[in-house]
């Protein structure tokens, strides 16, 4: 269906007030983007090609006579990913580093990216001639390796239900393979349970404040990440008085209150902590039961609700809850 009027840049683009075409830009500093995929939490992942040995000269140190350095990135609005000043592991202050990166040789040459039904990220490699799997937890690649290695150059990966469709590209023709994936394992890789993305990096001279929608999103993601960590830790760890923590980007500048209650949002309080953040950078949030909380949990069962309430310096408060059943570990 053809658009009925002129296209406009979304109001939440980070450079919306910039001149000329800047209003269309979501992130910058990418060399050669290839695959884009949204996970279940709405975050955007991207694969891109690194340099290919070109002679750019000292003005472009990220690519001058360098090879490989293909990247897996978690893309955030306003983020600068470095090219052409840096590439791969050479990212420096002010730039968002890749979540995973290839060495100088051999190159990956990724062709696409897909989020599998098992919660892992799958990238078909052209030069690498394999389907590569990235297992991601808490914003970090905790494991990676070859998932399919004997089908030549692979270019496209698409999810279809619980299966993965992968297209081979040998130059003379294409073959599509269908691969079954195991369902999501809560103890394994699951991008939907990741905490909030890294701090948004906004170039000087542009507005850097987070809008209300971003604050709400970060609050929900913090509740989900911390709730998942509490569930994985189990009832035994909490009864032992041990802390359960995650590192996550602050919802915004302001005060964040994390509470854990028995049974429901109105049940007995097991734990309550408050922290103040002066930036939107990453901070540590946690849950730890005191003597009263441990006694209540021990007598009250395993159904709990974790609630996060964030009160920004400016703007309305945001709240998010995460209900879970604690395993007896």
Pick the CATH number of 213-325 from 3.50.50.60, 2.60.40.4070, 2.60.40.3680, 3.10.290.10: 2.60.40.4070
Higher pLDDT among residues 240 and 206, named by residue: 240
pLDDT at 24 over 60: yes
Check residue 186 and give its pLDDT.
38
Q: How many CB atoms lie within 10 A of CB 179?
A: 14
C-alpha 46/C-alpha 31 separation (Å) is 12
Q: Give the lowest-confidence range in 14-28, 136-150, 151-165, 272-286.
A: 136-150
Share of the chain above pLDDT 70, in %: 87
Q: Which residues contact 284 (CB under 8 A, 6 or more apart)?
A: 245, 246, 247
Average pLDDT of the segment spanning 255-266? 87
pLDDT at 323 over 50: yes
Check residue 27 and give its pLDDT.
93
Domain range annotation of the chain: 20-193, 213-325
C-alpha 149/C-alpha 140 separation (Å) is 24
CATH class, range 20-193: mainly beta
Higher pLDDT among residues 161 and 84, named by residue: 84
- Highest-pLDDT range among 5-14, 133-142, 288-297: 288-297
pLDDT in tens, 226-259: 988 898 888 988 999 888 988 888 888 888 999 9
pLDDT in tens, 145-168: 888 888 888 999 998 877 889 999
**How many helices (H) does the chain have, and how many strands (E)?**
3, 17
Q: Give the torsion sign (CA, 175, 178, 179, 184).
A: positive
Q: What is the pTM of this model?
A: 0.56
């Amino acid at each position: 269906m053809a658009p009925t009027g002129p296209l406009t840049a979304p109001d939440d683009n980070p450079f919306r007030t910039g001149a000329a075409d800047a209003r269309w830009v979501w992130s910058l500093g990418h060399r050669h983007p290839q695959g884009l995929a949204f996970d279940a939490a709405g975050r955007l992942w991207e694969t891109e090609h690194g340099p290919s040995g070109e002679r750019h000269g000292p003005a472009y140190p990220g690519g001058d006579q360098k090879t490989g350095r293909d990247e897996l990135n978690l893309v955030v609005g306003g983020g600068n990913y470095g090219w052409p000043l840096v590439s791969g592991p050479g990212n420096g202050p002010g730039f968002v580093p890749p979540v995973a990166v290839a060495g100088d040789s051999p190159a990956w040459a990724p062709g696409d990216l897909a989020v599998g039904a098992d919660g892992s990220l799958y990238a078909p490699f052209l030069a690498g001639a394999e389907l590569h799997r990235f297992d991601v937890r808490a914003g970090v690649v905790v494991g990676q390796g070859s998932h399919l290695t004997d089908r030549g150059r692979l270019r496209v990966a698409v999810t279809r239900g619980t299966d993965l469709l992968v297209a081979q590209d040998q130059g003379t023709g294409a073959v599509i393979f269908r691969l079954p994936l195991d369902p999501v394992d809560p103890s394994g890789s699951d991008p939907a349970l990741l905490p909030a993305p890294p701090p948004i990096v906004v170039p000087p001279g542009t507005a850097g404040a987070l809008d209300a929608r971003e604050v709400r999103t970060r609050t929900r993601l913090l509740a989900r990440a911390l709730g998942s960590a509490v569930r994985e830790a189990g009832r035994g760890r909490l009864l032992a008085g041990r802390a359960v923590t995650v590192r996550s980007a602050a919802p915004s500048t302001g005060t964040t209150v994390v509470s854990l209650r028995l049974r429901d949002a109105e049940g007995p309080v097991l734990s309550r902590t408050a922290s103040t953040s002066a930036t939107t950078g990453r901070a540590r949030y946690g849950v730890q039961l005191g003597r009263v909380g441990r006694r209540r949990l021990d007598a009250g069962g395993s159904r709990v609700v974790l609630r996060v309430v964030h009160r920004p310096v400016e703007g309305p408060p945001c709240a998010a809850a995460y209900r879970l059943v604690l395993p007896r570990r």
